[in-house]
Amino acid sequence: MSATTTSGTVARSGPATLSRKKESRFGGVYGSWATPYLFLLPYLILFITFVIIPAVFGIWMSLHNWDFLLPGKPFVGLENYTALFDSSSVQFEPFWDSIRATAIFVVASVPFLIVLPLGLAVLLNRKFPGRTFFRATFFAPFVLGVAVIGLMWRYLLDPSFGAVNGLLNAVGLPSVNWITEQPWAWISLVGVTIWWTIGFNAIIYLAGLGDISAEQYEAAELDGASKWQQFRNVTVPGLRPVMIFVITTTILASANMFGQSYLITQGAPGTSTRTAIIEITERGLSQYRMGEAAAMSYVLAVFLGLIAILNFYLLREKK
């Protein structure tokens, strides 16, 4: 790539070479008209192949009875979409069950994923020896990825010989069916997600806390504000932009939940923890009913878009 780019720019002679020594015709950097495109080319090839084309091609697929394994992929118009809103269709129940499971997980997990990391960030924002060590420790689970975390917690939460029940028994509490009974299955999945990602949001909050100037706290203290009042009136308003970012990304991340259910509960009990992403990927990439799955993915994307807009609007309005 480097060779082509170099020769491409150098070979371009004539007026461009003449003006080379003096001025910049193209903003900060100097070169021919083709230079920016050559710099962009490698990325744009991938971007067009795996982002732009699929974004359109996916809609096309959703308008067909698209089975990966069959040669014929008959056009069915909006049938894959209308089926999702027709209670007599085959997709109707599994789709809305999975949407409900996703909604439950979002509602149950997001408040904790927003508040607990904030507490951790306030704790870590002090100056104390070993601060970097603790910051890294709380972030560490996140770098492990969902596969490791899922397998580990599946074992720890095992109803008969898991360490979590072992710990409960040791302090005189009864065992709990963490993965085979509701609401425990949801509690497990939310708990594991908190354990896994608490450091991620905490780090984002920490950066936001660092941007609040010390003067604001000093002024509040001079006014006789207590620690809690300082938190309420200096920290929280100062964190507002970061907060909007954290809330939006956390809702979207929770709505994309896949690995925890896939590995820990496997959708059980029943299909209660089978999330929308499990439904879409299993239908499309395992049973190869890709048209139906594509339609589901666009409907889900529209829901998430509406939630993101609503959420943004609500958080903006309060100001």
Partner 1 sequence: MTTTPTTNATGSTAVSGDGTATSKRRRGKRQRTHPLFWVGLALLSLVIILPLLYMLLTAFKSVQESQTVPPTFWPGEPSLRAFQTLFFTDADSPVLRWLANSLIAATFHAALVVVICSMAGYALARMEFPFKKTLFGIIIATLFLPPFIFMMPNFEILNAFGWLDTLLAIILPGAAGAFGVFFMRQFFSTFPVALEESARIDGAGPWKTFTSIVLPNSRAALVTLTVLSFLANWNDFVFPIYVLFSPERLTLPVGLSKLQGAYTVDYPVIMAGAALAAIPVLILFVFVQRYVIEGVASSGIKG
Residues 81 to 110 in contact with partner 1, rule: CB under 8 A? none
Helix (H) or strand (E) holding 4: helix 2-11
Binder of partner 1 out of 15, 19, 42, 115 (CB under 8 A): 42
How near is the Cβ of 183 to partner 1 at its closest, in Å?
21
96: which residues sit within 8 A by CB, 6+ positions away? none
Q: Helix axis angle, 240-255 relative to 184-210, nearest 10°?
A: 150
Return the closest-CA partner of residue 253 out of 213, 180, 206, 201: 201
Please identify, using beta-carbon distances, which residue of 20 and 316 lies nearer to partner 1: 20
178 binds partner 1 (CB under 8 A): no
Q: Which of 54, 111, 183, 237 binds partner 1 (CB under 8 A)?
A: 54
Positions in 114-173 near partner 1 (CB under 8 A): 120, 123, 125-141, 143-148, 150-156, 160-163, 166, 169-170
Kindly tell me which of 39 and 92 has the beta carbon lying closer to partner 1. 39
Q: Does 312 bind partner 1 (CB under 8 A)?
A: no
* Closest separation in Å from C-beta 237 to partner 1: 16
Instruction: Quote the least distance from Cβ 115 to partner 1, whole Å.
Output: 15
Tell the smallest beta-carbon distance from residue 83 to partner 1 (Å). 16
Whole-angstrom distance, CA of residue 263 vs CA of residue 152 = 10
Residue 28 interacts with partner 1 (CB under 8 A): yes or no: yes
The contact pattern for partner 1, residues 239-258, with x = CB under 8 A and - = no contact, is: ---x--xx--x--x--xx-x
70 binds partner 1 (CB under 8 A): no
Figure out which of the listed residues 15, 47, 86, 232 binds partner 1, where binding follows CB under 8 A: 47
DSSP label at residue 33:
T
Sign of CA dihedral 230, 311, 139, 263: positive
174 belongs to the binding site for partner 1 (CB under 8 A): no
Rounded distance between C-alpha atoms, residue 68 and residue 256, angstroms: 24
Q: Is 231 in the site for partner 1 (CB under 8 A)?
A: no
Closest separation in Å from C-beta 37 to partner 1: 7
* Nearest partner of 31 among 20, 40, 39, 21, judged by Cα: 20
290 contacts partner 1 (rule: CB under 8 A): yes
Contact 71, 286 (CB under 8 A): no
For residue 31, state whether it binds partner 1 (rule: CB under 8 A): yes
Instruction: Give least dist CB 75 to partner 1, A.
Output: 16
| Number of chain positions touching partner 1 (CB under 8 A) | 118
Does 294 help bind partner 1 (rule: CB under 8 A)? yes
CB 296 within 8 Å of CB 91: yes
Q: How far apart are CA 191 and CA 176, in angstroms?
A: 14
* 28 vs 35: CA distance, rounded Å: 12
DSSP assigned state of 26: S
Interacting residues with partner 1 between 193 and 222 (CB under 8 A) = 195, 200, 203-211, 213-214, 217
- Helix axis angle for 92-124 and 240-255, nearest 10°, is 140
Contact 247, 106 (CB under 8 A): no
Question: For residues 88 and 133, which CB has a smaller minimum distance to partner 1 in the complex?
Answer: 133
- Please give the structure tokens belonging to residue 66: 């698209």
Q: Which of residues 255-284 bind partner 1 (CB under 8 A)?
A: 255-256, 258-259, 262-263, 277, 280-281, 284
